Structure 1
Amino acid sequence: MSLSLHRRRLLLTAGAACAAAALVPVLCRRYRDPTSSPAITTAMASTPATIALGDPKNFDLRAPGAGIDRQPVGMYFYERNWPMKQLGRVRYLQGRRSFDIPWVSGVMGSADPDEPEQGIYSWHVTAFAMQEARIAHELARDRLFSMFRDLLMVGWRPFVEVGDPRLFGAQAVRYQLQERGGVYLDASYLPTMEQWMQINEYLPIWRFWADGVYMSVRVVDEPALRDPAVEGVYMFSITLDSEAPHFWTYFDKVEDMHRWKELIPAEMARVAATRPGKEAELRRQGYVIDENYRDPPILALGQVQGT
């Protein structure tokens, strides 16, 4: 699937957690005339919903609008959607790593009733950069990085895939633009407006980890409004995974996913072995590698920070 098609599908459906039927007409009205003034003003619900991984008793989606979708395949999805005229606030709870997300249109938590001890193992949150129908591109960038600063202050750390080169700051942006994607960007590096408008062509992703939880933040903008002289529309897609679903992605077979604790050490070693060659090639191209970066510990295997 092309980036443009993937982007539009993400934006118009506003992610898996949203009520697509309700959102699409609103978003279409927003995009109909890129030069028109905003026609929709939204308010944000005052009382935040709370979400947390693990025991379902530890979160409160603040009904009405919340529910459990019990799928025939056996999965449970805990959902809540907010109307576009009154976007919600969500607080993610993880002790000192807790943080708030404003202007939320939907949340969805995933659980497997066959493994109740695992509880909710993943949350997906769909939010916007603004209450208004449109937003200045610079303000959208600044609001995203304000959230990133909050995350870094409470102890979330940047994450690099085990087999990927350790690029940060302007080095990661350079790679993103040169390769048209393919690397996570650095939450501590504020891109220039020229860079911001360019990297948004490639569905940029920022990744974090903290205490066995992995978070990704993807930015989706509307390409028709990617003009510095015209206000845009931005959606933030935020996913929080416990260790199990994070490491499931390394396997194709369901039976291997169930055995991930047994299989992941060898898989990590295999993937990690590809990093030195990639970094050596990038050094030859003039890139600077952050050799101080260390991969996160795998808590389920008894690893601790520094091993």
Structure 2
Amino acid sequence: MNERIHIQLGQSGDDILENYPGLFSMSDHPSGAKFHAARWTKDARGTVEIGPSETLFVIHHALSATGNYSPSFANENIIEWNINAGLAESSPIMHDAARKQFQSIRANLRKGSRHRYIDPDAPRLSGENVLRYAESTPSVYGLDTDYEPTLDEWMHLPGRTLWKLWSKEGYLTIALSRDLSLNDVNQPGAYFIEFNLRSEKEQFHQLVGADKRTVWQQALRAEIKLLKEKRQQAESTLRKQGVNIDEAYQDPPGF
């Protein structure tokens, strides 16, 4: 059985437990945070619909879904969702089929009024320049959501690769992981996807850091200013190396 559920940011934990009795369980953290989690098996995975109609996207082959609630922002209810899923119905999948399947997922997400998101301290790059830059930096840099890697580029992606988007609903990070021991292009590979959806306010809470979360509005302007200074420094270095900066990129509102 492939169970289908619908969730979104801002839901109350009580609604989730009431709408899906027996599926979600709640756990408490010593900090007061609450986690509402659903789990499926590899033989009976779930289908998760996320968001309102204008930004709705569907995750197939889901293995788990966890919503996070923070007592510091009680009126915001669920401020973050994490969904883990397989890339296909079965785990072993040929690498080129996985590449095409993931391209379809990214294309569908871009249709839902979502835009590429670049962290405010990261250089504004696009296309092949992103791949080259990501090879020399930690994997937190998100690849270009409009660029389709060739099969050769796909095979050279690291074990965990990120793509980041934003919409008026919130900020979405997609993390694709693969088993690097199964790296023969002529043999099947194993892939796994994590979807993280944060509310806009939670994104700002994360930007200012844990010690300033409760005073994030006062700290946000100064923090963004510092982050953008780091971006300018990184872009200046890259320009000197002959790398094109994507001047057309626009930061989301609030930045």
TM-score (norm 2): 0.92
* Aligned ranges 1:180-259 → 2 under 5 Å: 181=139, 183-201=141-159, 203-211=160-168, 213-254=170-211, 256-259=212-215
Q: Tell me, yes or no, if the aligned pair for 2:139 and 2:162 is still in contact at 8 Å.
A: no
TM-score for both structures, normalised by structure 1: 0.77
Q: How does 1:68-87 map to 2 (within 5 A)?
A: 68-87=26-45
Unpaired runs of 5+ residues, structure 2, are none
Equivalent position of 1:167 in the other structure = 125
- 2:36 alignment partner, SS class: strand
Aligned-pair CA distance for 1:288: 1.3
Between the aligned residues of both structures, percent identity stands at: 25
Q: Contact (CA 8 Å) 1:50, 1:59: kept in 2 or not?
A: no
Which letter maps to 1:89? T
What CA distance in whole angstroms lies between the structure 2 residues aligned with 1:58 and 1:234? Answer: 32
* SS of the residue 2:100 aligns to: helix
Residues 175-202 of structure 1, C-alpha deviations (whole Å, 9 max, x = no match): 122446452101111101111111134x
What is the alpha-carbon distance in structure 1 between the residues aligned to residue 153 and residue 138 of structure 2? 13
Which runs of at least 4 in structure 1 moved beyond 6 Å after TM superposition? Answer: none
Change (3 A) 1:253 1:126: closer
Alignment correspondent of 2:86: 128
2:142 aligns to what SS in structure 1? Answer: coil
Residues 182 and 119 of structure 1, relative CA distance in 2, 3 Å threshold: closer
Corresponding residue of 2:228: 272
Encode CA deviations 1:78-137: one digit per residue, 9 max, x unaligned: 110001111110000233011100000000000024533111000000011111131111
Which range is displaced more, 172-181 or 187-196?
172-181
Give me the whole-angstrom Cα distance separating, in 2, the residues matched to 1:182 and 1:175. 11
2: CA distance, partners of 1:115 / 1:183: 28
Aligned-residue Cα RMSD (Å) equals 2.0
Unpaired runs of 5+ in structure 1? 1-43, 299-306
8 Å CA contact 2:16–2:24 kept in 1: the answer is: no
- TM-superposed deviation, 1:164: 0.8
Alignment of 1:1-307 (within 5 A): 45=2, 47-56=3-12, 62-113=20-71, 115-179=73-137, 181=139, 183-201=141-159, 203-211=160-168, 213-254=170-211, 256-298=212-254
Structure 1, residues 245-288: CA drift from partner, whole Å, max 9, x if none?
Answer: 2122233443x111111110111112112222211211222211
CA distance in 2, matches of 1:253, 1:216: 20
More strand by share: 2
> How many residues align structurally?
253
